[in-house]
Chain A
């Protein structure tokens, strides 16, 4: 499974956009890029996933670099409820396993 690198923490102001970066330079051609987030004392929550093209859903957008070695999760307008640990994971195309890294702790200031 490809290893991902994320900043340990980031801060944002409420109602401003947030760009959470992730590097995955060893990703294989068939590995999807998944983003999950976890609030304190809860199980992770699915955010978005993609393979090559940029993806949008009601929660966020995912921008994937052309060489697929990095991606960025975009929260268009951060709210206090978006404060969480965000995990970028490159999933195994054979097993569906998700190997979690340390993630980015996002703090949202009012």
Chain B
């Protein structure tokens, strides 16, 4: 089956620093990648959709200047949380699909990255 990895699996940083999270599709080319975040005891919230070679599309209420997304290749997308603050502490999850936004797409999810901002 399709495998998606994330790195790091957990990160602790000081308030005001920036953190980069990598999402890789290991055995397939991901035309589209999605980024979610999940607070404790809550469901996943879609943050943005990124297509390889184009700018990410952010969901309403998600600050694009704070959450920088780069999808430079068909196997790698990165999420950078800039000037992180304690309220950004969350579980960040990426997913990848092989097709560009089709209804039949199966999304393959990474294992998640737990970010703690002190």
Binding site for B on A (CB under 8 A): 30-32, 34, 36, 38, 41-46, 49, 87, 91-103
Contact = CB atoms under 8 A, between A and B. Distances in A.
B32 interface: yes
Most B Cβ at <10 Å: residue of A91, A96, A97 = A96
A39 to B, nearest CB: 10
A92 B114 CA distance: 28
Contacts of A44: 44, 93, 95, 109
A104 to B, nearest CB: 11
B25 interface: no
B112 A41 contact: yes
B46 A99 contact: yes
18 contacts: A36-B107, A41-B112, A43-B4, A44-B95, A46-B107, A87-B43, A93-B103, A95-B49, A96-B49, A96-B105, A97-B101, A98-B34, A98-B95, A98-B107, A99-B46, A100-B43, A100-B45, A103-B43
